[in-house]
Structure 1
Amino acid sequence: MPNLFDDFFGRNFWNDVFEKPEWSSSPAVNVYEHKEDFEIEVAAPGLDKKDFHIDLKNNVLTVSSQKKEQKEEKDGEKVVFSEFNYSSFSRSFRLPEGVDANKIKAKHKDGILTILLPKREEYKEQAPRMIDIS
C-alpha cells in the first residue's frame, strides 16, 4: 500500500528535477459527442503529425507515438552531459457502436491531434417527425 514515505523516497529525486516537462506517459485527452460525429483531442505538445501512429483493429482505435530526441553538436561546442531521451505513449479507445470506421479522419494543429469519428446515418440524431394515424 503506497504511503507518504513512498511518495517522497520511493522516487529518484534527480530524475524528477531533470525530467522533461513535456508528456512523459500519456497525453491528456478530451472526447466529445456531436450530432454528426465523435471527436477525440489528444494534447501532445512538441510532437509533429509525423510522430503519431493511429491504428484501428477490432473496433479499437489506438493512438501511439515514439520519438527520439537527439542533441546536435555545433562547431566549437561539445556535449558535456546528455541523456538519451526516448518518449513514447499509447492510448486505446473502444469505438462506440455506430461509428463509420471507413470515414475516420485525423488532423494535427498546434500540438493537438484531433480525430473525427463520423456516425453512421442510422445512429445520427434524427429530427422528430409527425406520424400519421390511419
Structure 2
Amino acid sequence: MGALTRLERFDELFPDFFRRFARPLALADEVPGDIKLDLIENDKDYLVRADVPGAKKEDIRVSVDRNFVSIAADVKREREERQGGRVLVKETYVGSASRGFSLAHEIDEKEVRATLEDGVLRLTLPKRDGAGGHSIAIE
C-alpha cells in the first residue's frame, strides 16, 4: 500500500478539517520568487524590463559594477476579505526578491537610467566605450 493511499484514507476520516485548508491562497500565487526580466541588447545599450510588483521605488535597489547588474526589492502585499463588518481572512506577505546578471559589455554607470511604472522597472544600461567582450582566436 503506497503512501498516497494512506493519505487518502486519512483525508476521508477528517474531510472538514482538510477542506478548510485545501482552499488555495490567492496571495501565495502573487508573491515574488525571483524577479522576472526581459533583456534586449542594442548597439549602444542594454534595455531591461523587470517585474517587481508590490515594490515601491524607494524599496528597489539597483547596482552596477562594471558588467554585473543587481536588482533587489523589498515587497509588501496585503489582502483582506470582509463579510459584513467582520474580517474573515487577512493575508500579509513581507519579503524580498533579487536578481543579478552579467553582461558582455561593461556599463557606463553614470549614464544608467531607471524608471518604475505599474510594478515594472525599466533600465537603460549604456555600454561603456571601448569596453566589453572581444573574441579570442584559438591557436
Instruction: Give TM class, smaller chain.
Output: 0.5 to 0.7
Q: Which position in structure 2 is the counterpart of 1:37? A: 45
Shift of 1:67: 2.1
Q: Which position in structure 2 is the counterpart of 1:46? A: 54
Contact 2:52–2:73 (Cα < 8 Å) also in 1: no
SS across alignment from 1:41: strand
Runs of 4+ in 1 over 6 A off after TM superposition: none
The structure that is strand-richer by fraction is 2
Contact 1:23–1:44 (Cα < 8 Å) also in 2: no
**Larger of the two Rg values belongs to structure:** 2
Gapped runs of 5+ residues in structure 1?
A: 6-12, 125-134
Aligned residue among 84, 96, 106 for 1:88: 96
Shift of 1:58: 6.3
Contact 1:22–1:46 (Cα < 8 Å) also in 2: no
1:55 maps to a residue whose letter is: S
Instruction: Provide the TM-score with structure 2 as the length reference.
Output: 0.61
Shift of 1:71: 6.5
Instruction: Provide the TM-score with structure 1 as the length reference.
Output: 0.62
1:115 maps to a residue whose letter is: L
Q: Larger RCO: Structure 1 or Structure 2 (Cα < 8 Å, ≥ 6 residues apart)?
A: 1
Matches of 1:59 and 1:32, distance apart in 2: 15
Gapped runs of 5+ residues in structure 2?
A: 5-18, 133-139
Q: CA RMSD in A?
A: 3.3
Aligned residue among 18, 29, 41 for 2:25: 18
Q: Which position in structure 2 is the counterpart of 1:104? A: 112
More displaced 10-residue stretch of structure 1: 80-89 or 99-108: 80-89
SS across alignment from 2:90: coil
Q: State the identity %.
A: 25
Matches of 1:54 and 1:83, distance apart in 2: 29
Distance 1:51 1:112, change over 3 A: same
More displaced 10-residue stretch of structure 1: 25-34 or 53-62: 53-62
| Aligned pairs, number | 111
Q: 1:65-80 maps to which residues of 2 (within 5 A)?
A: 65-70=73-78, 77-80=85-88
Shift of 1:114: 0.8
The structure that is helix-richer by fraction is 2
